[in-house]
Structure 1
Amino acid sequence: MKVLKAILELSVIGYVVFTALLLATVLNENTIFDIQTEAQVLLLYKAIVAVGGVLMLAKLLVSRLYVADLKHEQHLAQLKINELKADLYEKRQAFRSNSYKPQPEEEHEVEYLKQA
């Protein structure tokens, strides 16, 4: 999603630069697109506006999808954090009530510490 967003942003920047150069008459539409009549020039500008509208709409949709994806990832991370907090709370409560039974890995660590 991030790559698609970056490609689309580069396309929009290229479109804006090309359109600005075309409108500033730095680029000549007659030589680039082989246009001879005024009707073809009008059609070219209509096409440029249509392409710009489609690009901006696509940029809006991709941006919204990207934000929704980030929010979803944040929600999943928050659920994992809450799960870990609940496990920690349960372990603390068990330890305080003296019914704490260490995991097999923890027992090995306790024996190692007793030997030292």
Structure 2
Amino acid sequence: MKALKALLDVLVFGYIIFTVLLLAGAIDETAILNTNAEDEVLTLYKGLVAIGGVMMLARVVVSSVYVADLKHEQYRAELKINNLKASLYESRQAFRSNSYKETYAEERQAEVA
């Protein structure tokens, strides 16, 4: 998921640079299309807008899924920590309980003797 998010970020960044260069006039659209027809240039710009919209939407969706995945992993880690704390507490209680019983038994034997 992280690799997909990084790849999509790179593609969006490249798209933004290409679009800015095209709109600023650094890249000539007639050189890309090999024609001077305004209809084809208009189609190019419409295509760029459509591609940009789809890429931005995909980026938002992938970012949302990535964040949800991170939150789920954090939740699972917290559950594991809580389970480990509970088992540690139970182990301590069992140890204290056994230690107390042994000490009490030794004291009783000393009183009897």
TM-score, scaled to structure 2: 0.84
Structure 1: gaps of 5 or more residues: 101-116
Matched, 1:74 2:43: no
Q: Distance in 2 between matches of 1:45 and 1:74?
A: 43
Q: Answer whether contact 2:8 2:59 (CA < 8 A) is retained.
A: yes
* Aligned AA (1:79): L
The runs of at least 4 aligned residues of structure 1 exceeding 3 Å deviation read: none
Q: Answer whether contact 2:33 2:40 (CA < 8 A) is retained.
A: no
Structure exhibiting the larger radius of gyration computed from Cα positions: 2
RMSD of aligned C-alpha atoms?
1.3
How much has 1:98 moved relative to structure 2?
A: 2.0
Percent identity among equivalent residues?
62
Structure 2: gaps of 5 or more residues: 101-113
Who is 1:93 aligned against? 93
Q: How many residues align?
A: 100
Who is 1:45 aligned against? 45
How much has 1:34 moved relative to structure 2?
A: 1.5
SS in structure 2 of the partner of residue 71 of structure 1: helix
* Aligned AA (1:4): L
* Aligned AA (2:72): H
* Aligned AA (2:43): L
Who is 1:30 aligned against? 30
Who is 1:16 aligned against? 16
Structure with greater helix percent: 2
Who is 1:3 aligned against? 3
